[in-house]
């Protein structure tokens, strides 16, 4: 562990940021200011400053996903102006809840350059949630969306696993994700996102997933789909039993771990750390295995500890 920390510090020295970082962190957003106690205008200005400092490099000053560093990234940052949030608990076509946006910021998106924003306080993240919603004015006008319900899971049996495998084939998941989940289905090469960009289909045999590590995360995504991507919503398609069967099947095939390189991180996460040095620094200070920390489950555990 000490070796990990040291080698990562060395790396930061190499890029010449190690020395100014801790000092600059103190200036703004070290968790001592509580935006919850500010007037609405003050809170907005404060959030804007954090956004420009910590988010605009990737998501763009105008929230259009065209930040100056976006070209380096394999998975592109969301254009908040599109309203197509992928990670949410609401049904297809609905905007995310504040809690969904909060979670993406606090826990990041594993295996991508979107790091857990470990240097921000909960109050600062809440102020940022309101700030990014302003890029998509319909957040104000549409009626409040609600989270889809995730019913209690039935016991995991061989019979359910078998049913899940059948569902996976019958419901057409194979078209995109491939018969073994490797992302090599017949439709895979032709898929595009809302902006016409080709999409990467995840290999479902790998952990952690972007959507999270819990069985509930899997149940949810089958209901919600992923807005702006070809991943459809299957709400109303499966019975509760069939949906859970599918969840157990997906869980059973997730046997591989992402190949991890420097500091135990996936390559795209390393690029994220080079760009987003405040978050990287805060994560490093936690002195635990970096790679494990990037998994959503782990970050959540840590948040509960506090
Ligand atoms: C190093 C680049 C980078 C930085 C810095 C960054 N992000 Fe991201 N962010 C991404 C990428 C890439 C994704 C998309 C992940 C995906 O689609 O799989 C993302 C996704 C998100 C999402 C989830 C969107 C969805 O589809 O549901 C939110 C919310 C978000 N970012 C907010 C922020 C905020 C707020 C900040 C600043 C505190 C920030 N990000 C900083 C790269 C970055
Ligand atoms: C038309 C193509 C298509 C079909 C059909 C499809 N998916 Fe997907 N799925 C995708 C794409 C594309 C993504 C990734 C979106 C992104 O991250 O940008 C995805 C993402 C996922 C994820 C999230 C993986 C992660 O890394 O977090 C899961 C789980 C998943 N799909 C399961 C399923 C299941 C189960 C079915 C069938 C019931 C299914 N998909 C049907 C295209 C499809």
- pLDDT tens across 194-231, in order? 999 999 899 999 999 999 989 999 999 999 999 999 99
Q: Are residues 117 and 176 in the same domain?
A: no
59 within some domain: yes
Q: Are residues 136 and 7 in the same domain?
A: yes
CATH number for 168: 1.10.760.10
- 285 pLDDT band (50/70/90 cuts)? confident
Cα 233 to averaged position of ligand 2 atoms, centre (Å): 9
- 300 pLDDT band (50/70/90 cuts)? low
Q: What percent of the chain has pLDDT over 90?
A: 72
Q: Is the CB of 83 under 6 A from ligand 1?
A: no
**Could you tell me the residue range of the domain that residue 58 belongs to?**
2-146+261-305
Sheet strands (E) in 78-228: 206-207
Report the DSSP pairing between strands 206-207 and 256-257. Answer: parallel
Q: Are residues 28 and 95 in the same domain?
A: yes
26 within some domain: yes
| pTM for this entry | 0.89
Q: Is the pLDDT of residue 53 over 70?
A: yes
Looking at per-residue pLDDT, the higher value among 54 and 303 belongs to 54
Q: Is the dihedral of CA 148, 79, 302, 52 positive or negative?
A: negative
Q: Is the dihedral of CA 111, 8, 60, 53 positive or negative?
A: positive
- 299 pLDDT band (50/70/90 cuts)? low
Report how far residue 275's alpha carbon sits from residue 236's, in angstroms, rounded to the nearest whole number: 41
- 22 pLDDT band (50/70/90 cuts)? very low
Place of tokens 């790091």: 115
Query: If you average pLDDT over residues 172-190, what whole number do you get?
Result: 96
Atom of ligand 1 nearest to the CA of 96: 27
Query: If you average pLDDT over residues 269-277, what whole number do you get?
Result: 95
12 within some domain: yes
Q: Is the pLDDT of residue 13 over 50?
A: no
Pocket test for ligand 1, best of 48, 59, 67 (most atoms within 8 A of CB): 59
Q: Whose CA is nearest to atom 19 of ligand 2?
A: 231
Q: Are residues 12 and 45 in the same domain?
A: yes
Domain end point (choices 219, 238, 257): 257
Q: Are 290 and 265 in contact (CB under 8 A)?
A: yes
Report how far residue 274's alpha carbon sits from residue 120's, in angstroms, rounded to the nearest whole number: 18
DSSP annotation of 257 reads E
Give the per-residue pLDDT at 260: 83
Nearest Cα residue to 213 out of 297, 301, 87: 297
Q: Is the pLDDT of residue 305 over 80?
A: no
Report how far residue 51's alpha carbon sits from residue 60's, in angstroms, rounded to the nearest whole number: 9
151 within some domain: no
Query: If you average pLDDT over residues 81-98, what whole number do you get?
Result: 95
Q: Are residues 250 and 103 in the same domain?
A: no
Tally of domains within the chain: 2
């Amino acid at each position: 562990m000490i070796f990990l920390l040291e080698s990562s510090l060395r790396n930061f020295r190499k890029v010449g940021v190690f020395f100014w970082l801790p000092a600059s962190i103190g200036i703004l957003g070290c968790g001592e200011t509580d935006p919850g106690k500010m007037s609405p205008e003050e809170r907005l200005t404060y959030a804007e400053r954090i956004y420009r400092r910590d988010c605009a490099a990737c998501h763009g000053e105008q929230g259009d996903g065209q930040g100056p560093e976006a070209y380096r990234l394999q998975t592109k940052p969301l254009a908040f102006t599109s309203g197509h949030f992928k990670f949410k608990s609401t049904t297809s076509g609905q905007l995310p809840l504040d809690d969904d946006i909060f979670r993406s910021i606090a826990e990041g998106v594993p295996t991508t350059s979107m790091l857990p924003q470990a240097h921000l306080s909960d109050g600062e993240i809440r102020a940022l949630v309101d700030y990014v919603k302003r890029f998509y004015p319909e957040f104000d006008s549409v009626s409040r969306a609600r989270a889809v319900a995730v019913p209690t899971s039935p016991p995991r049996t061989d019979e359910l696993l078998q049913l899940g495998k059948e569902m996976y084939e019958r419901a057409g998941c194979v078209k995109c994700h491939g018969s073994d989940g490797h992302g090599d289905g017949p439709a895979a090469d032709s898929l595009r996102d809302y902006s016409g960009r080709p999409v990467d289909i995840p290999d479902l045999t790998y952990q952690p997933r972007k959507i999270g590590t819990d069985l509930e995360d899997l149940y949810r995504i089958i209901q919600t789909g992923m807005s702006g991507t070809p991943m459809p919503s299957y709400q109303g398609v499966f019975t509760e039993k069939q949906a859970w069967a599918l969840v157990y099947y997906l869980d059973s095939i997730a046997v591989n771990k992402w190949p991890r390189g420097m500091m135990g991180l996936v390559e795209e996460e390393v690029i994220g750390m080079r760009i987003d040095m405040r978050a990287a620094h805060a994560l490093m200070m936690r002195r635990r295995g970096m790679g494990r920390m990037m998994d959503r489950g782990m970050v959540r555990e840590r948040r509960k500890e506090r």
